[in-house]
Amino acid sequence: MDLQLILFILLSAVAIISALGVVFSKNPVSSVLCLIVTFIAIAGHYILLNAQFLAVVHIIVYTGAIMVLFLFVIMLMNLNADIEPQKRNWMKYAGVISGGVMFLVLLAAVRDANMPALSTTSTDIGLIENLGKTLFTTYVVPFEISSILFLSAMVGAVIIGKKD
């Protein structure tokens, strides 16, 4: 058993356990903290897959910006008490069962797929130099369009959040 497999199993266990914590914890603040742990584990997976730049961006954007925004909104609404009404129990079971059935169907679909194994040698495809070259030559138009998307999202958020 090589080191890569051990790290994979460790990070996967952390990711899945904390993802279950997001769904099943009663307190929204602990849900957010569990989701941060999941994202850090996923960033570890990115490093294992030679996507170093994406790992850094993932940590900055998700755990640094998005989750802080979530925490900020939860604190703002004073939701840290358990105020979620207890809903009907059979809905909960239906959710678990349909999610599990989806899991089994997808698992059975890809189990016998014939795909090459990942090699343990490292590639330099995820370095910022190569990614920047690809982003600013082949994908420069989507890059500019995404800036327009950001602008419209900003305008939309301000208009929705305005009082009155």
Partner 1 sequence: MPIQYYIFLSIALFCIGIMGVLMRRNAIIIFMCIEMMLNAVNLLLVSFSKMWADAGRVDAGSAQIFVFFIMVVAAAEVAVGLAIIVMMYRNSHSVDVNLLSRLKN
Residue by residue, DSSP assigns 64-77 as: IIIHHHHHHHHHHH
**Binding positions for partner 1, 41-60, rule CB under 8 A:** 42, 45-46, 49-51, 53-54, 57-58
Q: What gap in Å lies between CA 58 and CA 82, rounded to an integer?
A: 30
Q: Are 61 and 39 in contact (CB under 8 A)?
A: no
Q: 79: which DSSP letter?
A: -
**Binding positions for partner 1, 96-125, rule CB under 8 A:** 96, 98-100, 102-103, 106-107, 110-111, 113, 115-121, 123, 125
Size of the site for partner 1 (CB under 8 A): 83
Smallest separation (angstroms) from partner 1 to the CB of 53: 8
**Binding positions for partner 1, 141-160, rule CB under 8 A:** 142, 146, 149-150, 153-154, 156-158, 160
Largest CA distance in the chain: 62
